[in-house]
Every structure is written in C-alpha cells, then in structure tokens.
Copies of this chain bind each other. A is one copy, B any other.
C-alpha cells in the first residue's frame, strides 16, 4: 500500500548548462527515473511490461521550476499516482533538496496504455493483474 514513492537522484555534471545549474529538460528525465523506480518497486517493471506487450508512453508533462538545482546536489523526488482509469493514469512529482527542506520543482505526467503496435489498450481486459496492481497504487481498490 505504497501510494507514494521516494527516489534520490545525484546530479550529474552532464546535466548542468552554461547557467551553471541543471538544464530544465533533465527534470522531465528525472520524473521518468522516479516513475520507473516507483513502478519497479511495486513489481510493475517497465521492461517486464514491455515484454508482455504493454507500453505506457507519455501523453503530457508539465513542470514548474521553483529553485535551481546545482551540480554537487542530490535531489529527493516524491512521486504519487494521481489517478488510474484503466485507460489512462497520471502521476505528480515533487523535487526536493536531499534533506527535504527546499522544494525545487513540481510536475505532472499523464500516460495511456498501448500494445506493441502502438494501439491503445484497455488494461483491464488485456492484463487483469496489471490493472489490479495499478488500482491498489491509487488506493481505489476496495
């Protein structure tokens, strides 16, 4: 019953830019890192699902940058599954300093489920166990 997940990312030099801070595009990649770690921890590994023919590409992202992150820092990312409909799901993210005292950014992503032909699938019909897993994560199962 982990409705949220904590992930740590150590900032890499190659993630910085000429403003001497992390380039904003990398937060989108960090969301992916946090999301895959979250799902993996719940037994919903990206690669295992892909091997079963289930992909969940990104339909939308947004990110609000509040305080720049620099090389030398480790960030702590809290991810949460906001909703899951069987067709789509959404997560939200909070990027903190390692000790949690500074909120660096917040963001959201939404996803659908596709088969390997990139056609949308209803995951309840396609893979009931995956469906039930996701339901649990959103706390919607009774």
Contact = CB atoms under 8 A, between A and B. Distances in A.
Interface of A: 12-14, 16-21, 23-26, 28-29, 32-33, 36, 45-48, 50, 55, 57-65, 68, 70-72, 118
A43 to B, nearest CB: 14
Copies in the complex: 4
A17 B17 contact: yes
Counting chain B CB atoms within 10 Å of each CB, which of A24, A29, A46, A65 scores highest? A24
Nearest to A108: B62
Given A24-B58, A60-B65, A65-B57, A18 B13 contact: yes
Nearest to A61: B63
A18 B116 CA distance: 11
